Amino acid sequence: MTRIDESSDGRRVTVSVRGLVKHYGETKALDGVDLDVREGTVMGVLGPNGAGKTTLVRILSTLITPDAGEAMVAGYDVVRQPRQLRRVIGLTGQYASVDEKLPGWENLYMIGRLLDLSRKDARARADELLERFSLTDAAKRPASTYSGGMRRRLDLAASMIGRPQVLFLDEPTTGLDPRTRNEVWDEVKAMVGEGVTVLLTTQYMEEAEQLASELTVVDRGKVVAAGRIEELKARVGGRTLRIRPVDPLQLGPLAAMLDELGITGLATTTVDRENNTLLVPILSDEQLTAVVGAVTARGITISSIVTELPSLDEVFLSLTGHRASAPQDITPADSDSDAREEVAV
Ligand SMILES: Nc1ncnc2c1ncn2[C@@H]1O[C@H](COP(=O)(O)OP(=O)(O)O)[C@@H](O)[C@H]1O
Ligand SMILES: [Mg+2]
């Protein structure tokens, strides 16, 4: 069997998944999933409820076995080498994994001991991680008294005890308020900074954008899109050009001129008075060039010009035909093209 161990940028592939299948009766939780996570990077696995995210994380962390396909983590096969594999991974499940009755410190100490650390090392590691996740003050209190954010931080600390090479985070911020979510993001970023390879599942586009460099979009057990986040957004097609003339009085004439020229086809430009910018929908680099050329030809001085890609929400809608946040509103498959047009225009 041949296996590609290096990706195009030379980074080693740390997590490799090929044709992974897991059925529960009639439900195809995973229906042939492929993905690669490169060493030291964050792969976001984005999908609505029921997409198969937790099933994937459970297989990769050896909690369940696949029906077909294969998966390697840090060089170990999930089915044939589960014991070796468990030693190099950390897992933060979708639901809290700590013992609520025990204080934060005890939880971490106990996990350290379970991982074969000596009493001294387990103690030191618990202290160090509580400090690191800003939980030192709450060290002696039962975890049941912690806020949602503190609990999540304790979960993350627990998953770091064994100094994992690979970390699986299953919906790490679901149910957290925005401020706490930001705290968790900062912690994840810090872990990545230490060289940990992360596979993170999420239902939040913003979370994937914040943390992941690559994205695998899953829907009903299948990969519906994959690639670098920027590439995926570009694939949807539509972009908006945001132009700011030095003189705000030029906004109106500029909009009229661009509409008259018809460079952007049927789509019309809009004036954003609040920001003194002009929003021009474009579909191609040629249109972008033509717009810039037209503005320059009129001698209008512009202070900034940026292109904005569509949000991941729009990406998901156009790729799957339904919004990620409302999996129950499943639209017929043939409505896909309508959704794509909506986003592009
Ligand atoms: N133990 C199980 N028994 C039966 N069905 C399951 C089980 N685990 C998951 N499923 C089903 O598999 C599908 C994928 O579930 P899951 O992996 O939990 O999705 P996600 O984490 O993306 O919400 C869902 O339809 C779910 O109901
Ligand atoms: Mg889940």
- pLDDT value of position 239: 76
Q: What is the pLDDT of residues 150-185, one digit of tens each?
A: 888 899 899 989 889 999 999 998 878 888 888 889
Where does 25-130 show beta strands of DSSP type E? 27-38, 42-46, 68-73, 76-77, 89-92
- To test the pocket of ligand 1, the residue of 20, 21, 26, 27 to mutate (highest count of ligand atoms within 8 Å of its CB) is 27
Cα 28 to middle of ligand 1, angstroms: 9
Checking if the pLDDT of 302 tops 80, the result is yes
- C-alpha 140 to ligand 1 mean position (Å): 36
Q: Are strands 222-228 and 214-219 parallel, antiparallel or unpaired?
A: antiparallel
Q: What is the pLDDT of residue 26?
A: 93
* CA of 52, closest atom in ligand 1: 17
State the pTM of this model.
0.74
Tens digit of each residue's pLDDT (9 = 90 or more) over 102-126: 999 999 999 999 888 999 999 999 9
Residues framing ligand 1 (Cβ under 6 A)? 24, 27, 29, 47, 49-55
Binned at pLDDT 50, 70 and 90, residue 37 comes out as: very high
Q: How far is Cα 298 from Cα 292, in angstroms, rounded to an integer?
A: 10
Q: How much is the mean pLDDT over the chain?
A: 84
Q: Is the pLDDT assigned to residue 136 strictly greater than 90? A: yes
pLDDT-derived band at 236, boundaries 50, 70, 90: low
The two three-digit tokens of residue 265, written as one number: 């086809």
Q: What is the pLDDT of residues 6-26, one digit of tens each?
A: 555 667 999 999 999 999 999
If you measure from the C-alpha of residue 291 to the centroid of ligand 2, how many angstroms do you get, rounded to a whole number? 45
Are the C-beta atoms of residues 155 and 108 closer than 8 Å to each other?
A: no
